[in-house]
Amino acid sequence: MSKLRSAPTLEDVARMAGVSTATVSRCLNSPDRVVKATRQRVLSAVDTLGYTPNFAAQVMAAKRTFTIGAIIPTMENAIFARGLQAFQEELHQRGYTLLVSSSAYKPDLEEEQIRTLVARGADGLLLIGHDRDPKIYEYLDRRKIPVLVAWSYLPDAQVPSIGFDNRAAMFELTNRVIGLGHKRIGMISGISAGNDRARLRVEGVRDAVAQNELAVSDLRIIETPYEIENGAAAFSNLMSKGTRPTAVLCGNDVLAVGAIRRAQEMGLRVPQDVSITGFDDIELARIATPALTTVHVPHRDMGRKAALELVGMVEKTADGTALRLPTTIVERQSLGRPAKP
Amino acid sequence: MSKLRSAPTLEDVARMAGVSTATVSRCLNSPDRVVKATRQRVLSAVDTLGYTPNFAAQVMAAKRTFTIGAIIPTMENAIFARGLQAFQEELHQRGYTLLVSSSAYKPDLEEEQIRTLVARGADGLLLIGHDRDPKIYEYLDRRKIPVLVAWSYLPDAQVPSIGFDNRAAMFELTNRVIGLGHKRIGMISGISAGNDRARLRVEGVRDAVAQNELAVSDLRIIETPYEIENGAAAFSNLMSKGTRPTAVLCGNDVLAVGAIRRAQEMGLRVPQDVSITGFDDIELARIATPALTTVHVPHRDMGRKAALELVGMVEKTADGTALRLPTTIVERQSLGRPAKP
């Protein structure tokens, strides 16, 4: 033992008790919020080491609630579940508890939930995507609440983001589709107003159509909320008017699963008669028959890195650096060459 | 106008502004938490009517945060999503905001989340199922936090519940399976320790096996966490040892989807070679091929009624009455008669 007789630190207590320093702080400042067994272990370590918390550390700890808020657009279809689970696991490691709200893609509701989480003392917030009323960012800035955006990487946005390039990802997938010989493309997009992820995915499709010099009039786009039934209805719509597309790109896996179901009800084989692709690579994509060719989003990696960065912002050890994560195309069975005309 | 010159009430303001009385209270007590447009409408009604909040009402309102907490076991596979969405919609109607935590089926984590939600001022809590350390109920009782349990109806439990009878529902489904001629039954259950829903579903299967005088030794049960991969692994296990079951009852749809996938990988036709059933009737059940025969849980109805009861408990207009909702068997394509031996 080289560290002879120096005063024991918070870190020493944490190490001896086998917990994070946040947990030690919490035991000392709000013992009520710590499970009994943990509290006893920490207090016994405090006792053994003769630790005396210093005043500055106490004040700092007391100002924190060790609560992080996240607002996701929906809990349905588990679109955000895997990323959020990883986010929570990493937060838990660092001694923070996650509280989640779901806004049903409604800006008013999201605003109310942001105000509630701030009023309830959240130390920091995770939000999905960038599009929202600027006065919300002003409000959070005034309150000095660290905010991180996930699921959409935009380096020049007002708040830092950890996510992926929705436009580039959809551009790459559309290029792949066009490369197989498809010329008449349909797209079933989510509602793009107030949703930068949806908007940028549409832009990605448009970019690829333009770059491959396809007729823009051959690109038909329908916007509809992200629900299976809506994907089915939009697919019917695309197939019933004018020349049928040979490939239908969907804004996410949920819409794609609806499109596949309707194709089968219409007696169309996927991908022999029509190709259908998704976006996100959630569980549904593998369960669909045929399994979906889709854009794989690094859900767990994104969730974990977002937690690390946001905790760093709360603890003032990180300044909120935007980070772009890669996406990949997962080839399964729903995309093929177009039928010979 | 018969109500001449009587002092305007909170209700009058709410009516004129077209909002709930909770929203009026909130505007007066924490204006910061109300969206600007609503606040202006309420304040203009206060002004027009010349309303003066009475002191008692102010104190009452100030004691509330209009925040309800819910802790669900998982966000994955959207098992709880539809019920929770309905729960939130109904809360929103009544002026309350929902904050959700997900415990990953871990009792320690759930306890930490309960303490966090209470520390953050939740007016009431929704919990899933009854099984937990009695000291948690004591803690909530001491803090006078109204608690309602959903997804499991137990009339004699310590706290009121709005849910369904897991045991009776599984008993009914098992009877249906046995009625088709199945004698060798396998079951893939969730982990039953600390999970009354899982435990009672197993009991329901046992009840039906006993009542139909099948050999209990022909009932084989595997417990595994609710994940698709685990359902697949458990199915392999059931089919590889001893005499194969002709029907496999799964503790939920997620396990059943895993079992179907593995059956197909093993070259077994469902239901010609083996029948597989689920429980919950989430979206996955319809997307699976073949679509799952399963127990339909009234998710939306349960969520809505739980919100009404819990708000009533918070506002002291309801005393928390247990309510049993019916389940039904949904017949799709995954259950058939056993093959001739």
pLDDT above 70 for A254: yes
Cβ-based neighbours of B171, under 8 Å, separated by 6 or more: B204, B205, B207, B208
Least confident span in B51-65, B193-207, B224-238: B51-65
Give the closest-approach CA distance of B97 to chain A in angstroms: 7
Q: Do B67 and A120 touch (CB under 8 A)?
A: yes
CA distance A331 to A328: 10
Question: What is the mean predicted confidence (pLDDT) over A296-304?
Answer: 98
Cβ proximity of B250 and B280 under 8 Å: no
Q: Do B99 and A98 touch (CB under 8 A)?
A: no
Question: What is the mean predicted confidence (pLDDT) over A71-92?
Answer: 94
Instruction: Report helix, strand or coil for A282.
Output: coil
pLDDT at A56: 46
How many other C-beta atoms are found inside a 10 Å radius of the C-beta of residue A316? 9
Cβ-based neighbours of A75, under 8 Å, separated by 6 or more: A81, A102, B75, B78, B80, B81, B84, B85, B100
Chain A residues inside the 8 Å CB shell of B74: 81, 85
Element (H, E) at B295: strand B294-296
Instruction: Report helix, strand or coil for A59.
Output: helix
Enumerate the CATH 1.10.260.40 domain ranges in chain A, comma separated: 10-63
Instruction: Report helix, strand or coil for B209.
Output: helix
pLDDT at B321: 92
Closest listed residue to residue A210, CA positions, set A272, A167, A165, A266: A167
pLDDT at B46: 81
Q: Which of A8-17, B71-80, B164-173, B207-216 has the highest mean pLDDT?
A: B164-173
pLDDT at B12: 86
pLDDT at A54: 58
Enumerate the CATH 3.40.50.2300 domain ranges in chain A, comma separated: 67-164+298-326, 166-297
Confidence of residue A1 (pLDDT cuts 50, 70, 90): very low
Maximum distance among all alpha carbons in chain A? 85
pLDDT above 60 for B55: no
What superfamily in CATH does domain B10-63 come from?
lambda repressor-like DNA-binding domains (1.10.260.40)
Nearest to B102 among A33, A88, A108 (CB): A88
Residue with tokens 């520390």: B119
Among chain A residues, CA nearest to B287 = A288
pLDDT at A9: 80
pLDDT digits (tens, 9 = 90+) for B271-281: 999 999 999 99
Mutate which of A20, A39, A75, A103 to disrupt the B interface (most B C-beta within 10 Å)?
A75
ipTM higher than threshold 0.85: no
Chain B residues inside the 8 Å CB shell of A257: 287
A166-297 maps to which CATH number?
3.40.50.2300
How many other C-beta atoms are found inside a 10 Å radius of the C-beta of residue B206? 18
pLDDT at A111: 95
Confidence of residue A200 (pLDDT cuts 50, 70, 90): very high
CA distance A19 to A93: 9
Give the closest-approach CA distance of A248 to chain B in angstroms: 19
Share of chain A above pLDDT 70, in %: 94
| Residue B172 CA from chain centroid, whole number | 20
Share of chain A above pLDDT 90, in %: 77
pLDDT at B100: 97
Nearest to B88 among A82, A97, A102 (CB): A102
CA distance B97 to B326: 28
Instruction: Report helix, strand or coil for A235.
Output: helix
Q: How many helices (H) and strands (E) does chain A have?
A: 13, 12
Cβ-based neighbours of A209, under 8 Å, separated by 6 or more: A174, A178, A185, A216, A218, A219
Cα→Cα distances B2→B6, B46, B209, B210, Å? 10, 20, 68, 69
* A149 bridge partner residues: A127, A161
Confidence of residue A2 (pLDDT cuts 50, 70, 90): very low
Give the pair of three-digit tokens for residue A132. 């929202």
Confidence of residue B322 (pLDDT cuts 50, 70, 90): very high
| Residue A319 CA from chain centroid, whole number | 20
Give the closest-approach CA distance of A209 to chain B in angstroms: 31
pLDDT digits (tens, 9 = 90+) for A204-239: 999 999 999 998 888 999 999 999 999 999 999 999
CA distance A39 to B31: 38
Confidence of residue A34 (pLDDT cuts 50, 70, 90): confident
Q: How many helices (H) and strands (E) does chain B have?
A: 13, 12
Cβ proximity of B288 and B281 under 8 Å: no
Find out if CATH 2.60.120.10 is the number for domain A67-164+298-326. Answer: no
| Residue A149 CA from chain centroid, whole number | 8
Nearest to B287 among A104, A111, A287 (CB): A287
Closest listed residue to residue A264, CA positions, set A236, A285, A242: A236
Closest listed residue to residue B303, CA positions, set B120, B93, B57: B93
CA distance B149 to B130: 7
